[in-house]
Amino acid sequence: MKRARPGSTGPQRGPKSRAGDIRTLRNVPPPPPQRRGVNSQKSDKVRTERSRVRRTGLLRRVWVAVRTLILATVVIGGLGAAGWAGWRAFEQNGFLALRQVDVVGNKLVGKAEILETAGLELGTKLPSVPVGSIEASLRSLPGVGEADVRRIYPSRIEIRIKEKEPVAVGYAHRWYGLAPDGSRIGGPDWGQSDLPVVDGFAALDSAARAALGGFLAGAKREYPALYANFSQLALRGNDGMEIILRDGKLKVLVGLDLPLRRGAMAANPLIAMEKATSQASNKSLNSLEFLQALIDQQGASIDAGKTVDLRVYGYAYVR
């Protein structure tokens, strides 16, 4: 009987076993260690390159930031030095220096008083002139309604004044004009003016002047013909205000309440004058409507020297 050689792959001759054909494998040596493929080697190279690129990019960004910071510092320092040199040159030479101040629009308020209040000094640089504060100071002057200060380059300031128009005159050591807000306006010889004259002007406080000025301003606006016929005015305390007309024919009594006294004026004079002007004069002003109607209807039949009493609102009594 022939036996198969070890490692033979041929069919085994001889009787068959129950398990079937028996095949004997050839002795195979163990496999060598596994080697890494080309693709894995490339991946390592890519990762290494990425790490290098990241390190290089970070260093580059740091360098760019430092260089930018150094460049910005140099530029800012250069601009600051140039600006300082320019400012020194601007201050030391006569460029944009104030050389002329013009005052326009004033007729009653003196130019010297306006310039003194403005406080401008020749040689001051025009950009540094405090226009807003000067305008506020000028508006506080008696008789000044509005003030507009303008820079006119290269070396001039123009002050435009809009004055308050007086509605009466009065004497207090000298003649003054009475503004609608009750302020006293100096200036020309008001004694020669054709405005109504206020008797006892020196004794009036600010609230009384404000109420009187508001009443006269309203009369001038609403009843210009009556206002033009006002000759003299006097406050009579609880008896109101007495008005003597220019034609000498009638004397008029008007109730003029003064709701604000010296205490309120001392607390806040500006608000007090505004309230006195708006509140105390409205009722008295409306009473002139009845005086106008009386003159239009019965003026010719009223005897000279009569008194028209308007102190009771809604009625005009002739006595």
Name all domains of the chain by residue range, CATH numbers in brackets: 100-163 (3.10.20.310), 168-318 (3.40.50)
Which strands form 250-254's sheet, in the order they lie side by side?
184-185, 175-178, 168-171, 197-198, 230-235, 241-245, 250-254, 306-309, 317-318
Tally of residues, the chain: 319
pLDDT beneath 70: ranges in the chain? 1-42, 44, 46, 52-53, 55, 84-94, 187-188, 257-283
Q: What is the CA radius of gyration of the chain?
A: 52
Burial (CB count <10 Å: 0-12, 13-18, 19+), residue 200: middle
Give SS3 for 138: helix
318 vs 312: CA distance, rounded Å: 12
Which runs of E-coded beta strand occur in the chain?
Answer: 100-104, 144-152, 156-163, 168-171, 175-178, 184-185, 197-198, 230-235, 241-245, 250-254, 306-309, 317-318
In this structure, what are the phi and psi dihedrals at residue 303, rounded to the nearest 5 degrees?
-70, 150
What is the pLDDT at residue 263?
44
What is the pLDDT at residue 56?
74
Instruction: Show Cβ contacts of residue 150 under 8 Å, excluding neighbours closer than 6 positions.
Output: 131, 157, 158, 159, 160
In this structure, what are the phi and psi dihedrals at residue 274, rounded to the nearest 5 degrees?
-65, -45
DSSP state of 78: H
What is the pLDDT at residue 91?
57
What is the pLDDT at residue 37?
54
Is the Cα torsion angle 284, 289, 293, 295 positive or negative in sign?
A: positive
Structure token pair of residue 7: 């490692």
Residue 114: closest CA among 78, 75, 149, 155: 149
What is the pLDDT at residue 143?
83
DSSP state of 18: T
What is the pLDDT at residue 261?
45
Q: pLDDT tens-digit profile of 80-102?
A: 877 766 556 555 566 788 999 99
Structure token pair of residue 96: 């944009």
230 vs 243: CA distance, rounded Å: 7
Amino acid letter for position 236: R
